[in-house]
Structure 1
Amino acid sequence: MKYLDLDYLYTHAFERAITESTADFDKTLDNLESETIDLVKSYLSQYYDIDKIFSLTAPIKNGVLSKVMTKIILYEAVRRNAYRKVPTDYNEDYKWAIETLEKLNSGKLTLHDLPPKGNADGSDNSRLMWGNLSNKNNYI
């Protein structure tokens, strides 16, 4: 796993539930994490520097981001077990994770310890810009 580790997943679910759901294929958690990282990147790319956050050498960890990714990975791992019905708490956690990503994408929620997305010239995006679009002469 690139961003999370297996011990962190065990803090949110029993080891048995994870191992039974992923025992038939060794790369299940790695693949689910890669898919989840791609999903999270698409939500965070508007405001955050995702290359720094998910760097292979030194990823930047964030508690909220780790929890969101964990809930998505656990839901997908348990859901793939066709013989087990997904418990409602996994469904609720998954819905919470997606709603949190949507709040991050809309700017309603911010993660202050993650690097903001910079412009191509290296300038900061945090400067407030405004303009006046009034047209008193009615010219188009």
Structure 2
Amino acid sequence: MAFLTKDELITEAPKSFIDILVGTEQPMVDEVINDMIDLIKTNIGAYYDTDLIFSKQGEARSRTVLNYLKDLVFYKLQKRRKPGVLDPSDYDEAMKWLEEVSTGKRKADLPPKKIDTDGDGIPDKNVPFMKLGSNKSYPNGW
């Protein structure tokens, strides 16, 4: 079973509207869902166990990840039908959340990615968060 199905998008809009957006292209919806799952995995995969996150089913799924995934998928479906006339606020909020989680500004309640530190083949330590960059430079008059 998939992490998200077309029928679960009814929290974003009425089922009749979702059916209109999808039309007769059900495989396209699955493709959009997979693309957005891959987008989320790319953003949070460095520090969170995305295989475990997206293997969960039913009530065991992370409600936060599921909510933002629905926002991303719904936006992409709408954009596909009517490009250029959309309110991207939910999409922007989802992308902001992904950016903040990936840069460490926000911690997500998700299973952390683990690494094997003692060589026994069993992951036993969380991947440390490493933030790269430097202090803010200020212009001076010299």
- With the length of structure 1 as denominator, give the TM-score of the two structures: 0.76
Compare CA radii of gyration and give the structure with the larger one: 1
Equivalent runs, 1:61-76 vs 2, <5 Å: 61-76=61-76
Once the two structures are superposed, residues 65-122 of structure 1 have per-residue CA deviations (whole angstroms, 9 ceiling, x without a partner) of 011100000001111114x76432xx1111111011101101122222x211001342
C-alpha contact 1:18 1:78 (8 A) present in aligned 2: no
> AA paired with 2:63?
G
Which residue number corresponds to residue 105 of structure 1? 102
Q: Does 1:115 align with 2:111?
A: yes
Q: Secondary structure at the match of 2:125?
A: coil
Q: Distance in 1 between matches of 2:14 and 2:48?
A: 32
Which residue number corresponds to residue 36 of structure 1? 36
| Shift, 1:127, TM fit | 7.4
Where do 5+ consecutive residues of structure 2 fail to align?
118-122, 130-142
Runs of 4+ residues deviating >6 angstroms: none
| Shift, 1:124, TM fit | 1.5
> Percent of counterpart pairs with the same letter?
28
> AA paired with 1:106?
T
Report the CA distance shift for 1:93/1:73 in structure 2 as closer, same or farther (over 3 A). same
User: Which fold has the larger relative contact order, with Cα–Cα distance below 8 Å and residues 6 or more apart in sequence?
Assistant: 1
Report the CA distance shift for 1:101/1:127 in structure 2 as closer, same or farther (over 3 A). closer
Report the CA distance shift for 1:86/1:24 in structure 2 as closer, same or farther (over 3 A). farther
Q: Distance in 2 between matches of 1:125 and 1:26?
A: 39
CA RMSD of aligned residues (A): 2.2
Equivalent runs, 1:117-132 vs 2, <5 Å: 117-121=113-117, 122-125=123-126
Equivalent runs, 1:76-95 vs 2, <5 Å: 76-82=76-82, 86-88=85-87, 91-95=88-92
- With the length of structure 2 as denominator, give the TM-score of the two structures: 0.75
Aligned length, in residue pairs: 122
